[in-house]
């Protein structure tokens, strides 16, 4: 079946469309963003979104289907056509540009008086699943990491940060141990000794500081050390940030923790596999 498409816009998009796109692509349920509300509903939706497609098995451009905008006035109980945008809940559906299936449906509340939008519905739901490989590498900390993802899916940012902090506390010794193994591989004996010395019963803050100070260079991306950011900001989020600010921070640091665990394990596994292949190649053939 051919799915009708909205007219393609110009390359230059107004800030309002960029904000709506960020909300739809990246934000969990009940996330709120300030927005200069456009006058017409057809001007409120981005033409395309970049979303994971379960059919294609990867992230793909999704196009908005034309004629699917609906408005539900608060308390009205019925859908009515609304060419001009007024305060209320609006729906839009996006289909994969490749397979033309696997639709995403979003519901967004536009508040014209407060100049704000809130995501109030999404299907398929915001992803809280954990990759099986990452789950195995997280070990006992997987429970806290999953709880953080569940909190984040409902925009409970402070709760998500608290669970991420707890996951980091459980992971700090395994991280130190991986860093010490990497230091051994690189011939950095002093770093390896220091990293092993601080493991165990030492205070968490001391272990976390040692972990980011002696982190392998591969963990630092564009001058940003994710271990340092995790240690620095998770406690701040729990005690000082608003719920909305904590949501943004929890999203960022959930990715930080995933990156750290994945990168350290992958580095060691790839190095061992390469060494094994070299040893295999050097064995005399009979």
DSSP string over 159-177: HHHHHHHHHHHHHHHHHHH
Q: Are 116 and 137 found together in one domain? A: no
Q: Are 137 and 117 found together in one domain? A: no
- Tokens matching residue 196: 């092993």
Q: Is residue 277 part of a domain?
A: yes
Q: Are 159 and 94 found together in one domain? A: no
Q: Are 21 and 115 found together in one domain? A: yes
Residue 210: per-residue pLDDT: 92
Residue 7: per-residue pLDDT: 43
pTM for this entry: 0.73
Q: Is residue 3 part of a domain?
A: no
Domain count, the chain: 2
Q: Is residue 236 part of a domain?
A: yes
Q: Is residue 7 part of a domain?
A: no
Q: Are 266 and 140 found together in one domain? A: yes
Residue 9: per-residue pLDDT: 46
Q: Are 42 and 182 found together in one domain? A: no
Q: Are 272 and 212 found together in one domain? A: yes
- Integer angstrom CA distances of residue 91 from 104, 107, 120: 10, 4, 10
Regions of the chain with pLDDT less than 50: 1-11, 68-78, 82
Q: Are 151 and 222 found together in one domain? A: yes
Residue 13: per-residue pLDDT: 57
- Tokens matching residue 19: 């904000």
Q: Is residue 266 part of a domain?
A: yes
**Last residue within a domain, chosen from 123, 146, 168:** 123
Selection from 254, 279, 266 nearest residue 141 by Cα: 254
Q: Is residue 44 part of a domain?
A: yes
Q: Are 119 and 145 found together in one domain? A: no
Q: Are 156 and 102 found together in one domain? A: no
Residue 243: per-residue pLDDT: 85
For 229, the 3-state DSSP assignment is helix
Q: Are 166 and 219 found together in one domain? A: yes
Q: Residues 6 or more apart from 193 whose CB is under 8 A from it?
A: none
Contact yes or no for 20/44 (Cβ under 8 A): yes
**Last residue within a domain, chosen from 94, 123, 152:** 123
User: Residue 168 belongs to what domain range?
Assistant: 132-282
Q: Is residue 187 part of a domain?
A: yes
Q: Residues 6 or more apart from 112 whose CB is under 8 A from it?
A: 37, 85, 86, 87
Q: Are 115 and 148 found together in one domain? A: no
Q: Is residue 10 part of a domain?
A: no
**Last residue within a domain, chosen from 73, 105, 123:** 123
């Amino acid at each position: 079946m051919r799915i009708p498409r909205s007219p393609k816009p110009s390359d230059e998009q107004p800030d309002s469309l960029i904000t709506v796109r960020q909300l739809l692509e990246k934000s969990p349920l009940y996330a709120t963003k300030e927005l200069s509300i456009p006058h017409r509903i057809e001007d409120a939706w981005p033409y395309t979104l970049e979303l994971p497609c379960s059919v294609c098995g990867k992230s793909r451009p999704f196009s908005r289907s034309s004629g699917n905008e609906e408005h539900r006035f608060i308390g009205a109980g019925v859908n009515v056509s609304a060419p001009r945008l007024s305060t209320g809940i609006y729906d839009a559906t996006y289909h994969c540009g490749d397979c033309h299936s696997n639709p995403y449906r979003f519901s967004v509340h536009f508040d014209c008086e407060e100049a704000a939008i809130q995501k109030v519905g999404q299907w398929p739901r915001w992803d809280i699943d954990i990759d099986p490989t990452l789950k195995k590498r997280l070990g006992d900390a997987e429970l806290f990491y999953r709880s953080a993802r569940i909190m984040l899916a409902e925009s409970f940012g402070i709760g998500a940060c608290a669970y991420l902090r707890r996951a980091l506390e459980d992971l700090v010794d395994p991280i130190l141990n991986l860093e010490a193994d990497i230091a051994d591989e690189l011939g950095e004996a002093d770093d390896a000794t220091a990293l092993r010395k601080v493991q165990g019963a030492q205070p968490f803050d001391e272990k976390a500081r040692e972990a980011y100070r002696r982190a392998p260079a591969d963990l630092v991306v564009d001058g940003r050390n994710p271990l340092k950011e995790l240690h620095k900001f998770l406690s701040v989020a729990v005690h000082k940030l608003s719920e909305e600010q904590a949501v943004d921070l929890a999203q960022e640091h959930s990715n930080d923790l995933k990156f750290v665990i994945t990168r350290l394990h992958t580095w060691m596994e790839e190095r061992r596999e390469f060494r094994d292949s070299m040893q295999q190649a050097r064995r005399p053939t009979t």
